[in-house]
Structure 1
Amino acid sequence: MRLKRETLHYEETAESRARHGEEGFDEVLIDLAFSAMLECVNCKDKVACCGNGGYAPDQYQDESGDLNMDYREEFYVRYFSKAMRIFSVPAKCPKSVKRSIEKSFNVFFCDPGAASNHVRQTAEEILTNSGISAADAKGKFVPLGTRIVSFKTIDKDNADRVDALRWIGNFGSHPENITVNDVFNAYDILEILLEDLYVGHQKSVRNLVDKINTAKRPS
């Protein structure tokens, strides 16, 4: 996605303008609100975005070799009209799993805690699609942790990955404890998990490695 610069519009917020008379006020304390259009370089699709910004000091050297200070605008996107795909979801991924992932992508830039909660929901959907029910024979709810234990008897490696997603998702319920990097870590784990479950390249390679090591010769 590339910025259509002619669509970039920004203004200082009212709260920021009210601080201009305060002692020590500086340009770096200015808060901006912005909106803009982005365009895909491939398909030419358009996506609207908005967020906040400000001014950052920008030191540069002039022709005489003297250092000068200027300010440059910096903008941080918080909302997109269409979810940005942080990673590619396999084509064979179940629809319920894909929907949960897209919900996470939708709020990633504005609410990392909510994004991690949707990652946890994705973990629930993955287990359901793997045959690990969310209810027992009597229809009683089965906690995610208990479901993961059952999944470990079938696929320990991926069960461990689901467990990691559960812990990250749990912390998302307390926004002060979750960071953007935490969610990125969850996405890294989730991407490998989806590849292993719905593409199978890693699993096939593991099986090939085991076969070669057992036979002690090329397969």
Structure 2
Amino acid sequence: MRRDDWPEEFELAERRVVPWSCPNCQQKTLTVSPGTVHVYEGIESQNAGYHEAWDPEWTDRRFVCMLSCRCGEWIAVAGKQHVEQVFFASELSESNVHYLDISVPRFFQPPLRVINISEAVPTEVREQVERSFSAFWSDLESCANRVRASVEKLLDHLGIKKTAIQNGQRRPLSLHSRIQLSATCGNAFANELMAIKWLGNAGAHSSAITREDILDAYEIIEHVLREMYDQPGKRIARIAKTINKAKKPRSVTHRTRRRT
């Protein structure tokens, strides 16, 4: 993942290429489809236009449009639009003042894929990360929680226990404890998973989480999943582990499962 590929805002104009990759082909060939752009000004913004001290930067609009890709995919987009004052010369004079319409997307359907996830990644882990993509643009707290949930599912897949006997009673283990336990079981990425847990905690308990924090989480989880599931050597190791655990060929194990 490259952070520069995920700007928060863009300039909305027909036929313009947007900065994000297509969720279908992963190519940066998405363009704003002609005739699909609709912009509406909110009522408070309209009323503010009558104020004697009105400034263009008070403008508050909503927009919708469609993005099209060469691969044939279509993406619906909705968001907010505001106006920013910019200066194009070092000497500030009225003639050098310009205003730009800045569009900030809050919704994509289908969601854009912030990181690529291999099909080798367990389905339950992959689903949690993919669900976070929708929230990335509108609800950072929920997004952080989804990425955190992917860590829980990953630990489930690794066989890290969820409960332990404490004071004579079986109690659930916290994610923190499970990550620590995974380190003792040979998980080489416990530190990375712990970092995601802290970011998820920030999303769950406060509004302090930022877009940059979420990009941190995405970079970390992408690295962990790539190292665990995308490396050819790791795939061979998983095959060997399955055979050794069953003490028989995988084909025999598969036939037995089908009969049951």
Q: Is residue 2:51 matched to residue 1:22?
A: yes
CA distance in 1, matches of 2:182, 2:114: 27
Q: 1:143 corresponds to which letter in structure 2?
A: S
The answer as to whether partners of 1:195 and 1:202 remain within 8 angstroms in 2 is no
Match of 1:212 in 2: none
Q: CA deviation at 1:134?
A: 2.2
- The residue aligned with 2:68 is 39
With over 3 angstroms needed to count, the CA separation of the structure-2 counterparts of 1:69 and 1:86, relative to structure 1, is same
**1:106-117 to 2 correspondence within 5 Å?**
106-117=134-145
Which stretch has the larger CA shift, 91-100 or 69-78? 69-78
Spell out, residue by residue over 1:126-185, the C-alpha distance to the aligned partner (whole angstroms, 9 max, x if none): 100111132348864221111111100133531111111100000001442100000000
Amino acid at match of 1:169: G
TM-score normalized by structure 1? 0.83
The SS at the match of 2:119 is coil
Counterpart position of 2:220? 189
Confirm whether residue 4 of structure 1 aligns to residue 36 of structure 2.
Answer: no
Question: Is the partner of 2:141 in helix, strand or coil?
Answer: helix
Q: Distance in 1 between matches of 2:49 and 2:61?
A: 14
TM-score (norm 2): 0.70
Contact 1:3 1:39 in 2 (8 A): yes
Tell me, which stretches of 5 or more residues in structure 1 are unaligned? 205-219
Runs of 4+ in 1 over 3 A off after TM superposition: 58-61, 135-140, 201-204
Deviation at 1:68, TM superposition (A): 3.1
Distance 1:77 1:21, change over 3 A: same
**Cα 1:19–1:175 shift into 2, 3 Å:** farther
Residue pair 1:172, 1:178 contacting (<8 A) in 2 also = yes
Q: 1:150 to 1:15 in 2, by over 3 A?
A: same
| Structure 2 residue matching 1:10: 3-state secondary structure | strand
Cα separation, partners in 2 of 1:145 and 1:181, compared to 1, 3 Å: same
User: Whole-Å Cα distance in 2 between the matches of residues 197 and 139 of structure 1?
Assistant: 31
1:91, distance to aligned residue in structure 2 (A): 1.6
Could you tell me which amino acid in structure 1 is paired with residue 217 of structure 2? A
Could you say if the C-alpha distance between residues 193 and 26 of structure 1 is closer, same or farther in structure 2, counting changes exceeding 3 Å? Answer: same
- 1:214 alignment partner in structure 2: none
CA–CA separation in structure 1 for the residues paired with 2:80 and 2:208? 22
Count, aligned residues: 199
For 2:100, what is the secondary structure of its paired residue?
strand
Query: In the aligned structure 2, how far is the partner of 1:79 from the partner of 1:199?
Result: 30
Within 5 Å, which residues of 2 pair with 1:22-101?
22-41=51-70, 43-60=71-88, 67-101=95-129
1:6 counterpart letter in structure 2: G
Q: Secondary structure at the match of 2:216?
A: helix
Over the residues paired in the alignment, what is the CA RMSD in angstroms? 2.3
Q: 2:194 aligns with which of 140, 163, 184?
A: 163
> SS of 2:121's equivalent?
coil
Aligned residue number for residue 207 of structure 2 = 176
SS at match of 2:57: helix
Q: Secondary structure of the equivalent of 2:111? A: coil
Give identity over the alignment, percent: 28
